[in-house]
Amino acid sequence: MTTQLIDSFNRRIDYVRISVTDRCDLRCNYCMPKGFTDYEEPKDWLTFDEIERVVKAFTALGVENIRLTGGEPLLRKDLPVLVSRLSQVDGIDDISLSTNATQLEKHAVALKTAGLNRLNVSMDSVDPKRFHELCGRDALDDVLKGLKAAKEANLNPIKINSVYLHDTPDHEVDALVEFCIENHFVLRLIEAMPMGDTGRAAGKSNLQKTKLRLQSQYGLTETIERGPGPAKYLVSGDGQFKIGFITPMSQHFCESCNRVRLSVDGTLYLCLGQNDRFELRPLLRSGASQTELIEAIQDAIKMKPERHEFNESPKKIIRIMARTGG
């Protein structure tokens, strides 16, 4: 059996994003529709045992990087227990978490102790009023407390993920930059994508002018550093500040895509911007052997499309980001 997972376009898949819930305690206006209640039933969530089985199948195929996502993953009960279990799986090199940090203050130490390696925090503004407008709750103070707790727990590096909208003003971006410089966080700006009606309503964004402006304003230079994700980074002259740009709309990175997403109900989404998928839960609950699970994943990866079509077919993806998984 091969120790690497290679798709039909000769891309090695070594990164899996695993959603542990589709629920969230924020209502970001580019993500989840107002009044949304179409959540997966808990009986259909993958259990921790099932998630561990899937992770072991992927590691048998050379996957090294796991990210836990949602919805808001810290709404899943006993998440540090899952982190601990996955950290002990042979072959896992890195376990990270994407969170909005509203619940992070009470979980940071337990997550660090459990073996969490890295943390990405979604935060679109450091202005309380703007944060409330974008995220539907006056929760910025909770996020800041969560970030403080994460720093004190030595959950490093901490990356701040901020969705860049077509009408995001320069001063909002600059405030995020200054906040990250002050706190030694890595900032990552992400172009909004047309995922569901809410994503399309957010408008088409393009980071290229903002990237050039920040590069000049802060004396940043290109770096060849790449992580498991798609961000391309600029770094300050003293090396103390890094900012990444994730540009699925203006400069897609499909040729180097190395990831798939597993939703909370066991659906393996093979591309964020396509509808290709493979259902793993029926296999897990019908007594399939680990070998059969591994072979199913290999078959699924053959279905991974070459690229998304966000620009060509912006109405194609009906599902919202929270249902897809991070």
Residue 122: pLDDT over 50:
yes
pLDDT digits (tens, 9 = 90+) for 208-225: 999 999 999 999 999 876
Domain-located, residue 5: no
Q: CA 195, CA 275: separation in Å to the nearest integer? A: 11
What pLDDT is attached to residue 230?
Answer: 83
What CA–CA distances, in Å, run from 206 to 242, 250, 314? 20, 6, 15
Q: Does an H or E element contain 186, and which?
A: strand 186-191
Q: Specify whether the CB–CB gap between 121 and 159 falls below 8 A.
A: yes
Question: What global pTM score does this model have?
Answer: 0.93
What pLDDT is attached to residue 193?
Answer: 79
Q: Specify whether the CB–CB gap between 143 and 102 falls below 8 A.
A: yes
Residue 1: pLDDT over 90:
no
Question: Of residues 75 and 251, which shows the higher confidence score?
Answer: 75
Domain with 249 in it:
15-324
Least confident of 58-72, 139-153, 243-257: 243-257
Q: CA 301, CA 8: separation in Å to the nearest integer? A: 8
Residue 292: pLDDT over 60:
yes
Domain-located, residue 4: no
What pLDDT is attached to residue 324?
Answer: 76
pLDDT digits (tens, 9 = 90+) for 309-326: 665 555 555 566 777 776
In the predicted model, what is the mean pLDDT of residues 151-167?
Answer: 95
Least confident of 49-63, 190-204, 211-225: 190-204
Q: Specify whether the CB–CB gap between 66 and 94 falls below 8 A.
A: yes
What pLDDT is attached to residue 199?
Answer: 66
Q: CA 269, CA 194: separation in Å to the nearest integer? A: 16
How many percent of the chain have pLDDT more than 70?
A: 91
In the predicted model, what is the mean pLDDT of residues 177-195?
Answer: 92
What pLDDT is attached to residue 196?
Answer: 65
**Mean pLDDT of the residues in the chain:** 91
Phi-psi region of 10 (alpha: psi -120 to 50; beta: other; left: phi over 0): left
Domain-located, residue 2: no
pLDDT band (50, 70, 90) for residue 197 = low
Strand 277-279, strand 232-235: pairing: unpaired
What pLDDT is attached to residue 320?
Answer: 67
Question: Residue 148: CB partners within 8 Å, gap ≥ 6?
Answer: 105
Task: Please give the tally of structural domains in the chain.
Answer: 1
Instruction: Find the angle CA(1)-CA(256)-CA(94) to the nearest 5 degrees.
Output: 65
Residue 258: pLDDT over 80:
yes
Phi-psi region of 287 (alpha: psi -120 to 50; beta: other; left: phi over 0): left
Strand 242-246, strand 232-235: pairing: antiparallel
What pLDDT is attached to residue 34?
Answer: 80
In the predicted model, what is the mean pLDDT of residues 279-288?
Answer: 97
How many percent of the chain have pLDDT more than 90?
A: 75
Domain-located, residue 3: no
In the predicted model, what is the mean pLDDT of residues 42-55?
Answer: 98
Q: What is the CATH number of the domain that holds 315?
A: 3.20.20.70
Q: Does an H or E element contain 111, and which?
A: helix 108-114
Domain-located, residue 7: no
Instruction: Find the angle CA(206)-CA(211)-CA(215) to the nearest 5 degrees.
Output: 170
